[in-house]
Amino acid sequence: MKRYVQFFILILCLALSVYAQTGAVKQANDLYAKGNYTDAAKQYEKILLDEGVAPELYYNLGNAYFKANEIGRSILNYERALRFDPGYDDARYNLELVQLKVVDNIVQTPSFFIGRWVENLIKLLTSNHWIFISVAFFVFSLVAVFLFIFGPSHRTRKNSFYFGTVLIAISLITLVFSGVRKEQMMKHNEAIVMSGVITAKSSPDKSGTDLFQLHEGTKVSIKSTLGNWVEIKLSNGNVGWVEIIQLEKI
């Protein structure tokens, strides 16, 4: 009897938790619908802090900040939504829309098109998705191996050998993609400029030579950290030092 009571209490707690989260999201959505974008953003932030992350919450938060004209935080949260769900088309569309408001127009350094294509391909899916694809192709390759060994004819065994080789190759490639994607998620080395205008220095010190300026919403890669300073790299290859407080990691 005691076990049933404990089970009932557990179910009740879970139900209340879901109800509370749903109520909190509804409250945030209502604030957004009424045009109280700053309050809605605060509510979404609280939900993320209390209940955990979700791509949809980051997307809603990005929308709220966009409406509140906080470009940097809007881009940051759209990027976070895509980080957890690369196939989130609405977040990608809104990100491209808000990026038009960023002052900096950084021309990316030309790179070999195959490298760009592979990099973009890897970012299309999460690490778990790639590992699932890898396992699926590996299973298919085992079927091909079985047909190669026990195939009823020479032609069947020959075709199975070729198909099995291709399937194993794809399985290994997607396994590598999974590892690369996981490393990208773990490294956490991309950030968004939060301050209106910042100046990159030649050294991690305010007395360093001014190199270039960046504006709110610009995306940078973090190369290294030294105290309160980080060395950043832009997509055009420019490198400099800025104070870490001026950035927010994606």
CATH code of domain 190-249: 2.30.30.40
User: pLDDT, tens digit, for every residue of 208-223?
Assistant: 999 999 999 999 999 9
Q: Tell me, what amino acid is at 12?
A: L
Helix H or strand E segment including 243: strand 239-243
Domain boundaries, the chain: 2-99, 113-187, 190-249
Alpha helix ranges (H) inside the chain? 2-33, 37-51, 55-67, 71-84, 89-99, 113-122, 127-150, 154-187
| Token pair for 189 | 């080395």
Q: What is the pLDDT of residue 184?
A: 79
DSSP string, 187-237: H--EEEE-SSEEEEESSSSTTSPEEEEEETT-EEEEEEEETTEEEEE-TTS
Nearest in space to 42 (alpha carbons), one of 66, 58, 61, 22: 61
Helix H or strand E segment including 241: strand 239-243
Give dist(CA 74, CA 76) in Å, integer. Answer: 5
CATH code of domain 2-99: 1.25.40.10
Q: What is the pLDDT of residue 12?
A: 33
Q: Do domains 2-99 and 190-249 have the same CATH topology?
A: no
Q: Tell me, what amino acid is at 108?
A: Q
Q: What is the pLDDT of residue 117?
A: 83
pLDDT one digit per residue (tens) for the chain, 250 residues: 544 434 434 343 333 344 345 688 899 999 999 999 999 999 999 999 988 889 999 999 999 999 999 999 999 999 999 988 888 999 999 999 999 999 876 665 555 667 778 888 888 888 999 999 999 999 999 999 999 998 889 898 999 999 999 999 999 999 999 999 888 777 778 999 998 899 999 999 999 999 999 999 999 999 999 999 999 999 888 999 999 999 999 8
